[in-house]
Amino acid sequence: MKLCPAVFVVFVFCTSTGSASSRAQRDRGAAVFSASGCAHCHSIRGSGGHKGPDLSGIGRRMKTSSMRTQIVDGGKLMPPFGEDLQSAEIKDLLAYLHSCKAKK
């Protein structure tokens, strides 16, 4: 199958832009994690607090929708952050947490 050169260029541009955007979103999410005090209670890869669960492998253990509910509504001992975080911040934070897939 032959691809027209213009189609190939558009394909490469779109795929590289998409991954860069995801990386930027995860970076913003990591910044939200730090700035919002998440690291006060939670650790990731050995860095952070120990009041809450270690989130190093949260992306493997929990669905994004469940993470969103936990962040927005709180639960168990975690307070809700739905009124403290902007929608975009929550989205970035979820992208970052979803990328945390370390095995314990």
**Predicted confidence pLDDT, tens digits, the chain (104 residues):** 444 443 333 333 333 344 445 999 999 999 999 999 999 999 999 999 999 999 999 999 999 999 999 999 998 899 999 999 999 999 999 999 999 998 76
Q: What is the pLDDT of residue 1?
A: 44
10 Å Cβ neighbour count for 79?
10
CA distance 76 to 53: 12
Residue 76, helix vs strand vs coil:
coil
For 27-98, CATH number? 1.10.760.10
Task: Parse the chain into domains and list their residue ranges.
Answer: 27-98
Q: What is the pLDDT of residue 76?
A: 86
